[in-house]
């Protein structure tokens, strides 16, 4: 059986060589990508790139994933976007023209581009392909795998005719090692790379690198074609000891002493606490040299940075420098995420122990019904609430309070600037609106409305600034809770004592309540002529049950302040608290009027009340008496919150007939009040009379002919008014003839004020900060605008506009992400501009061409990756840079040199550093100490180029290039060596 099965097994082991292998499939996939991207054919014929185009131009890339068996690769096409040269009438390139990449190897217009792909810097190409391992794949380390990939791209380029160079990334990614190839008609360029950690001593200078280059190209021609050399040395400046601290030193004698940034109420701090510019990189370049012009070996070097024909500078910016405004905003944003209430933060502590003394606010109502002899003025809900809170505040130990009394008083005076006016004129009977409004920032039109914020002179705005300041400097959330508690107590104090709250945007309702209350008090005061106290205009509760002798005489807030032994807290207008007490006593005092049940039979003889003035020539329909416009109650003010709340309640009633009827009754309170006033002013009136005044369109008049043939005008209610169950008819039948002064108030200011104060009292610090966040962002944007106007940075102006628009979107989002706000980045840019201006001496009052040139230079440093220095080391900017390096070198010698004591004695003063010195001014410091103007270069880049026949003397002369990077911990050689594949 074994013999029978052998032939079958041999048949199945036959390999089918017509089936493509994984390697062939990989090569085919690469060719498909090249065809899809239309990279087939000649790439020659394009014009050479302009000078600096690699930096200013737009680089684009596109990628595609390909597989080698189960190993993932990514192929990426990098190219410089250029205008198409088609249609220019140029002749087509010759068939044997060099590929575009070979032409770029010799181009000198874009050496050392500051911002480009590393292969662009090393090889000067404007278009290339890179095959790299996938994101989660291991690096290509083994030599066999590298050769396999290089073979694959070589075959792909040959089969497709693609002339774009293709690279393969090998070794670990951090090493940036690439190997590649470029093919053209009869030519090929191999891209090779060497990467070492240390620079070999024999190759630590130009002469050694020239030897490597010559040996690699292996040209036997005599004399050797000239080698073009471009050299760049980079020097790094890190020491800024001669630069002053970016923030003003703190004033320890001020109220906010010891705080950085000169903080005061009404102003947000600004600026960096550390230098936002960490390093300055000076690149000295010799763009066009030949081998015989310059000497650089292990003994001597002609490469003096001061003699370099071209200087360029770039700055390295500190990552996330600490900035005051950014820290303020960040800490404020954190408050929005806290969950604790004010009581949880401050703790009840001694407040709970005061329960025996009835200090608990919940006992306020039971306190009113106690049989103990309590003075009448103290019997009020607001007084009990205020007394309990006052006791809580009094029993909090001083060391437990996050804010000191001095700090708290200063904050409250800033929040309520009219308090200073009150103290200076507390003997006056009334308060005036003329008080000094604080304007912490210049007002920017429509900015606060764009952010749904408040004007910069409003109380909300000032409160937001104080909360932000207290949160950052004086205890965080505990200090905010303390401030808010005191703020609410101040609001209650002002309500009870009839002091308007100026600049309060968020709760205008409280001011409306205070104004109504003040109006009643003023009316009561004018009618108090030694007689029995009369009822208030807007109604009130009768205290007749206590007897007139038990009711204290009317007193005002100012009179109470002058009474001996009577404090502000002991004063209470308890009589003003119960306004809903329309009882039988009122009807006894005011007998029933016309239109009411039980009234006189002859309603036309009832005494009219509450008349304002006649309504033109109109007369009552039944009696012919003149029609009078009545004195009516003012409608209740409605805030945005109340309107929203009312809309929700009305919407919940549904669309049923019963719901609609109930909704109409709720909305007819004002109508009913006006009807009662109209009946009181016009005894004997009917609904038609009221409609003629109140809604003339619902009274239709027409001319008719009576029985005697005379033309008369006859009127009737409109069809809408005749609908059965009409709300107007029901309200008219219900309305009593009651003047406005004796009606139940439409707007109960006491109730509404207590609602507002309760709403404020239950706010958590997180809720408070969320409400004040638009004001803080408003203040931050104003601060940025103010600081930017001093610096005049075009990019910052645009950034502020974008940040404002973005902040508006974030605030309108239901769950805003405060981390996305861009205000902190704008502050960093302004701080960097100030740092650079200080370093280059801008803003010291100097004028002239040099000053303008320096300002332009500093502005360019902020916006461009690298800026050329006009005049190199001899120009105004170059001279300052030279001074900075000289100063840093001497300071370094003082701290780390062998002769530090002697160097310290000979260190230059500031005046010495202010003098501009050239190469001829450099002298030993004394005692044989020679201080170099510049430190050793942090990086050296040497570019060697030539065009020689290779590999044989009779081959085509082809471009050869070697880019050398010499650093302290890196030695890199990136070579591009071309060879003739036709004549070798």
How high is the pLDDT of residue 952?
A: 87
Give the model confidence (pLDDT) of 798-809 as tens digits: 888 888 877 777
Q: What is the pLDDT of residue 565?
A: 34
pLDDT of residue 177: 95
pLDDT for the residue numbered 602 = 52
Mean pLDDT computed over 457-486: 86
* pLDDT of 16: 59
Tell me the average pLDDT across 881-910.
65
Q: Which residue has the higher pLDDT, 809 or 953?
A: 953
Helix ranges, 201-311 (H): 206-217
- Model confidence at 210, pLDDT cuts 50, 70, 90, reads very high
Q: How many residues does the chain have?
A: 984
Give 77-128 pLDDT, tens digit per residue: 999 987 754 444 445 556 567 888 999 999 998 899 988 899 999 999 999 9
- pLDDT category of residue 979 using cuts at 50, 70 and 90: very high
Q: What is the pTM of this model?
A: 0.69
pLDDT surpasses 70 at 256: no
Is 193 in contact with 199 (CB distance < 8 Å)? no
393-400, long-range: CB < 8 A, 24+ apart: 393/485, 393/486, 393/489, 395/350, 395/351, 395/353, 395/354, 396/346, 396/349, 396/350, 396/351, 397/350, 400/349
772-775 LR contacts (CB < 8 Å, sep 24+):
772/460, 772/463, 772/464, 772/467, 773/332, 773/336, 773/464, 773/811, 774/448, 774/451, 774/452, 774/453, 774/454, 774/811, 775/453, 775/454, 775/460, 775/461, 775/463, 775/464, 775/465
Of the pLDDT bands very low, low, confident and very high (cuts 50, 70, 90), residue 246 is low
pLDDT of 597 higher than 50: no
User: For residue 951, is the peptide bond before it cis, meaning its omega torsion is within 30 degrees of 0?
Assistant: yes
Tens-place pLDDT, residues 497-548: 878 777 665 567 777 888 788 877 777 777 565 444 444 333 333 333 233 3
Mean confidence (pLDDT) of the chain? 75
- Residue 586 in this model has a pLDDT that exceeds 90: no
Please tell me the distance from the alpha carbon of residue 468 to that of residue 256, in angstroms, as a whole number. Answer: 14
Top-ranked range on mean pLDDT: pick from 129-143, 372-386, 789-803, 829-843: 129-143
pLDDT at residue 433 tops 70 = no
pLDDT of 297 strictly over 70: yes
Question: Model confidence over 328-360: pLDDT tens digits?
Answer: 888 888 888 888 777 777 775 433 444 444 444
∠ CA(975), CA(306), CA(945), 5° rounding? 20
pLDDT on residue 512: 80
Is 60 exceeded by the pLDDT of residue 312?
yes
Cα(258)–Cα(154) distance, integer angstroms: 70
State the pLDDT at residue 25. 92
């Amino acid at each position: 059986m074994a013999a029978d099965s052998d032939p079958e097994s041999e048949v199945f082991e036959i390999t089918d060589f017509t089936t493509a292998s994984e390697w062939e499939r990989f090569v085919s996939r690469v060719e498909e990508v090249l065809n899809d991207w239309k990279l087939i054919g000649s790439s020659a014929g394009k014009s050479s790139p302009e000078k600096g185009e690699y930096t200013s131009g737009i680089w684009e890339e596109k990628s595609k994933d390909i597989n080698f068996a189960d190993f993932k690769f990514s192929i990426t096409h990098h190219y410089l976007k250029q205008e198409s040269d088609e249609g220019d009438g140029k002749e087509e390139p010759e068939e044997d023209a060099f590929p575009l990449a070979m032409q770029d190897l010799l181009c000198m217009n874009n050496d050392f581009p500051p911002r480009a792909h590393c292969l662009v810097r090393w090889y000067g190409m404007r278009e290339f392909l890179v095959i790299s391992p996938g994101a989660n794949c291991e690096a290509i380390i083994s030599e066999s795998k590298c050769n396999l990939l290089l073979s694959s791209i070589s075959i792909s380029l040959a089969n497709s005719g693609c002339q774009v160079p293709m690279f393969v990334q090998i070794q670990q990614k951090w090493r940036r090692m690439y190997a590649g190839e470029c093919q053209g008609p009869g030519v090929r360029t191999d891209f090779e790379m060497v990467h070492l950690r240390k620079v070999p001593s024999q190759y630590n200078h130009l002469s050694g690198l020239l030897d490597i280059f010559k040996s690699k190209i292996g040209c036997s021609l005599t004399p050797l074609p000239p080698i073009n050399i471009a050299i760049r040395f980079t020097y790094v400046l890190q020491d800024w000891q001669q630069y002053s601290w970016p923030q003003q030193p703190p004033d320890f004698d001020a109220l906010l002493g010891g705080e950085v940034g000169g903080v005061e109420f009404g102003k947000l701090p600004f600026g960096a606490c550390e230098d936002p510019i960490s390093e300055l990189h000076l690149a000295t370049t010799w763009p066009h040299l030949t081998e015989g012009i310059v000497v650089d070996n292990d003994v001597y070097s002609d490469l003096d940075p001061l003699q370099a024909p071209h200087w360029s500078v770039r700055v390295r910016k500190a990552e996330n420098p600490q900035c005051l405004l950014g820290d303020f905003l960040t800490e404020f944003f954190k408050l929005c995420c806290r969950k604790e209430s004010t009581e949880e933060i401050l703790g009840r502590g001694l407040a709970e122990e005061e329960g025996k003394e009835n200090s608990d606010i919940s006992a306020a109502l039971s306190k009113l019904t106690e049989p103990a002899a309590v003075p009448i003025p103290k019997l009020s809900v607001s007084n009990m609430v205020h007394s309990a809170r006052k006791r809580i505040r009094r029993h909090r130990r001083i060391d437990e309070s996050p804010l000191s009394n001095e700090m708290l008083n200063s904050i409250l005076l800033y929040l309520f600037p009219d308090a200073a006016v009150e103290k200076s004129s507390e003997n006056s009977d009334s308060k005036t609106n003329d008080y000094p409004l604080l304007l912490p920032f210049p007002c920017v039109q429509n900015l606060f409305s764009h952010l749904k914020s408040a004007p910069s002179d409003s109380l909300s705005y000032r409160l937001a600034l104080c909360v932000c300041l207290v949160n950052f400097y004086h205890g965080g959330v505990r200090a905010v809770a303390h401030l808010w508690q005191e703020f609410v107590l101040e609001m209650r104090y002002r309500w009870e004592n009839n002091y308007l709250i100026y600049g309060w945007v968020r709760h205008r309702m409280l001011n409306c309540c205070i104004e109504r209350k003040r109006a009643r008090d003023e009316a009561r005061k004018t009618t108090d002529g030694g007689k029995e106290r009369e009822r208030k205009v807007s109604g009130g509760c009768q205290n007749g049950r206590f007897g007139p002798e038990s009711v204290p005489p009317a007193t005002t807030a100012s009179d109470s302040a002058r009474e001996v032994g009577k404090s502000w807290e002991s004063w209470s207008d308890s009589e003003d608290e119960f306004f809903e007490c329309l009882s039988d006593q009122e009807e006894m005092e005011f007998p029933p009027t016309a239109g009411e049940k039980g009234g006189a039979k002859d309603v036309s003889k009832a005494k009219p009340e509450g008349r304002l003035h006649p309504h033109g020539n109109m007369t009552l329909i039944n009696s012919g008496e003149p029609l009078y416009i009545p004195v009516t109650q003012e409608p209740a003010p409605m805030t945005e919150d109340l309107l929203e709340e009312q809309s929700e309640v009305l919407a919940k009633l549904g669309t049923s007939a019963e719901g609609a009827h109930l909704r109409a009754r709720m909305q007819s309170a004002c109508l009913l009040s006006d009807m009662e006033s109209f009946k009181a002013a016009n005894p004997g009136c009917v609904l038609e009379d009221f409609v003629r005044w109140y809604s003339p369109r619902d009274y239709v008049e027409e001319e008719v002919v009576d029985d005697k043939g005379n033309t008369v005008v006859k009127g009737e209610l409109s069809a809408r008014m005749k609908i059965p169950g009409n709300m107007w008819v029901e309200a008219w039948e219900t309305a009593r003839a009651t003047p406005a002064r004796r009606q139940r108030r439409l707007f109960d200011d006491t109730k509404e004020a207590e609602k507002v104060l309760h709403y404020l009292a239950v706010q958590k610090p997180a809720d408070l900060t969320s409400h004040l966040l638009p004001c803080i962002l408003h203040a931050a944007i104003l601060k940025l605008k103010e600081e930017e106007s001093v610096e005049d940075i075009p990019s910052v102006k645009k950034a502020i506009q974008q940040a404002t628009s973005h902040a508006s979107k974030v605030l309108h989002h239901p769950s805003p992400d405060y981390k996305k706000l861009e205000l902190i980045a704008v502050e960093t840019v302004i701080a960097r501009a100030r740092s650079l201006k200080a370093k280059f001496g801008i803003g010291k009052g100097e004028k002239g061409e040099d000053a303008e040139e320096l300002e332009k230079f500093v502005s360019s440093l902020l916006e461009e990756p690298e800026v050329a220095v006009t005049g190199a080391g001899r120009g105004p900017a170059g001279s300052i840079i030279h001074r900075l390096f000289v100063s840093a070198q001497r300071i370094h010698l003082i701290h780390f040199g062998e002769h530090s004591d002697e160097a310290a004695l000979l260190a230059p003063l500031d005046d010495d550093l202010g003098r501009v010195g050239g190469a001829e001014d450099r002298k030993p410091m004394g005692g044989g100490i020679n201080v170099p103007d510049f430190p050793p270069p942090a990086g050296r880049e040497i570019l060697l180029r030539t065009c020689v026949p290779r590999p044989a003397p009779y081959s085509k002369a082809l471009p050869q290039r070697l880019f050398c990077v010499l650093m302290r911990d890196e030695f890199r050689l990136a070579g591009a060596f071309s060879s003739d594949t036709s004549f070798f």
